């Protein structure tokens, strides 16, 4: 029979709907009033949501907690607003999400007037896995000295393994040779009771975004099409706009959040 904390950990699973959300970050070199449109579907968009995002030069703005449908495509459309001195009426950034999974969309470079663009699809709290459809109650797991792995199973605290979580993981072991920044962790079979001290756990690799496989040896399939950028301007300033476009490609300052 399951212990009460473990029973609560799993009994909540059928009662809560899985899900996640989209988070969008923008940064500009100019004052702009950007407009963001987010829809489900590609060719026949539905559930259109429109947001206004005033931008101040060199400050990052965040739009978050936008629900997404996993395993379904969607479109994110960003319109910049005018930058008159370059003849720009508006710039459009279009990103199409195919077969939505937990992911990050952020090109290495972006066109001015934007200096930063990033989309993250994240899981709601206590939901795990690429489609955010595996439930594990992180708070209850802590009460029994366990953690929720990225796949939604129970595991020992970081760096430990074994039925009682009292053995130190040697990351040089052959079975623990995770590649591409993967991290070796313990994982108990789902619906087992590791608090009894008799259930054998296994060692798995938790992979960083962009990699998968038993040892994180494979690059994940890119579910998101590359973003497209288009600029629109007035006819009498077309030459200015063309020159602006040709010289406006800059490093995306939000590509790696750890660097900024």
The torsion angle over the Cα atoms of residues 60, 112, 73 and 100, rounded to 10 degrees, is -50
Please state the domain count of the chain. 2
- 26 and 120 together in one domain: yes
The CATH number of whichever domain residue 153 belongs to comes to 2.10.25.10
- 116 and 225 together in one domain: yes
pLDDT at 220: 84
Does the residue 50 lie in any domain? yes
Does the residue 211 lie in any domain? yes
The pTM of the whole model exceeds 0.85: no
Asked if residue 24 lies in contact with residue 34, where contact means CB atoms within 8 angstroms, the answer is no
* Positions of the chain with pLDDT under 70: 1-18, 171-174, 194-197, 258-260
- 181 and 215 together in one domain: yes
Does the residue 2 lie in any domain? no
Q: Which domain holds residue 234?
A: 20-124+221-251
Place of tokens 């459809």: 133
pLDDT at 111: 94
- 233 and 190 together in one domain: no
């Amino acid at each position: 029979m399951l212990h009460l904390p473990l029973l609560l950990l799993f009994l909540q699973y059928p009662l809560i709907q899985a899900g996640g959300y989209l988070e969008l970050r923008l940064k500009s070199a100019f004052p702009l009033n950007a407009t963001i449109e987010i829809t489900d579907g590609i060719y026949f968009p539905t559930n259109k949501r429109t947001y206004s995002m005033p931008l101040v030069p060199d400050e990052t703005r965040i739009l978050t907690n936008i629900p997404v449908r996993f395993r379904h495509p969607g479109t994110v459309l960003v319109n910049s607003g005018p930058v008159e001195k370059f003849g720009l009426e508006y710039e459009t950034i279009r990103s199409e999400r195919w077969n939505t999974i937990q992911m990050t969309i952020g090109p290495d470079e972006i066109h001015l007037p934007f200096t930063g663009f990033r989309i993250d699809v994240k899981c709601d709290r206590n939901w795990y896995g690429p489609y955010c459809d595996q439930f594990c109650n992180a708070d209850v797991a802590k009460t029994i000295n366990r953690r929720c792995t990225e796949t939604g199973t129970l595991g020992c605290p970081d760096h430990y393994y074994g039925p009682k979580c009292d053995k130190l993981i040697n990351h040089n072991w052959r079975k623990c040779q995770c590649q591409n920044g993967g991290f070796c962790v313990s994982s108990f079979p789902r619906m087992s009771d590791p608090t009894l001290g008799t259930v054998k756990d296994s060692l798995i690799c938790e992979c960083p975004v962009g990699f998968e496989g038993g040892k994180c040896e494979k690059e994940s399939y890119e579910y998101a099409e590359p973003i497209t950028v288009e600029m629109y301007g007035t006819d009498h300033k077309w030459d200015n706009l063309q020159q602006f476009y040709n010289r406006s490609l800059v490093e995306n300052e939000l590509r790696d959040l750890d660097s900024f």
